[in-house]
Amino acid sequence: MRLAFLGPAGTFGEEAALAYAPAAEFVACVSHAAVAKAVESGQADAGMFAIENSINGSVAETLDVFVHQTRLRIQAEVLLPIELFLVARPGTRPEDVRVISSHPQPLGQCREFLARHFPEAQLEAALSTSAAVEAAMRRNHTAAIGTRRAAEIFGAAVLAEHVQDVSNNVTRFVVAADGDVPPTGRDRTSIAFTFADDRPGSLAGVLNEFARAGINCSKIESRPTRATLGEYVFLVDFDEHAETPQGRAVLDAIRPLCSEVKVFGSYPRAR
């Protein structure tokens, strides 16, 4: 199995890939959009995508990939505990740090730590935690927030451990590939839908169908359609497989209420 992830080596995407399929051949990519393209082009059999963090919420890039850019189906999810470290070139002192770099998600997960200990530092977004650590090794007065593995790979010194604002920090990853997986009895389905008109009660009408079916919606949010300001795509996760009688019935019930319904996939819920 060839498994694509947001690289380079040392990212949480790699950790999630190792947890999911330790014997796989790994394909490092520069973005989640590139992960999807690697699978679609046949360079990889499946892709690992960070989709949600317990502190910082959803990963917008991943949601947009599934809404706008790919027809890959989610087949599994992985829950990864997140431990973040502030690292820099050996010999760097905390008081020397003027710039702190990381992926936008870890920067958000360490907002209180950074405000408390580095209120004047300039924050820079990087493509990945590993890319931030690698770049920090080439720059003076620069630190990065990343994994302990990235620090070991690039020879960085750890300035502070466990810098995330909440100790039980967890990121949910999903694995996507071509095709669907069968029901297991403990499944989640992720969908997106839009409405032709912006009318009062449209969203309530869809959610009422889930309530009528006795199906729990575990997550709901929205993303811009990219077509017109003020128009949104609604995203819902619900606790049922799309191919069970209950799942098929609720999807059949909401389709006439929407202009489009896109199923991202049904997959076993991680324990």
- pLDDT tens digits along 62-121: 999 999 999 999 999 999 998 999 999 999 999 999 999 999 989 998 999 999 999 999
Q: Which residues are catalytic?
A: 171, 173
Counting the structural domains of the chain, the total is: 3
Diameter over CA atoms, the chain? 63
In terms of domains, do 259 and 193 share one? yes
Share above pLDDT 70 across residues of the chain, in percent, rounded to a whole number = 100
Residue 106 contacts residue 54 (beta carbons within 8 Å): no
- Render pLDDT for 64-78 as a digit per residue (tens, 0 to 9): 999 999 999 999 999
The closest of 182, 248, 267, 262 to 209, measured between CA atoms, is 248
Domain identity same for 61 and 105: no
pLDDT, tens digit (0-9, with 9 covering 90-100), for 215-246 = 999 999 999 988 888 889 999 999 999 999 99
Instruction: Give burial (CB, 10 Å; 0-12/13-18/19+) of 176.
Output: buried
Question: Same domain for 237 and 203?
Answer: yes
**Is residue 182, in this structure, part of any structural domain at all?**
no
Q: Domain residues for 117? A: 85-160
For position 271, what pLDDT does the model report?
Answer: 80
**Pair (127, 140) in one structural domain:** yes
Q: What is the mean pLDDT of residues 133-137?
A: 94
User: How much is the pLDDT for 46?
Assistant: 98
The beta strand positions in the chain, using DSSP E, are 2-6, 25-29, 46-53, 57-58, 73-81, 85-88, 99-102, 122-125, 142-146, 157-160, 170-177, 187-194, 217-224, 232-238, 260-268
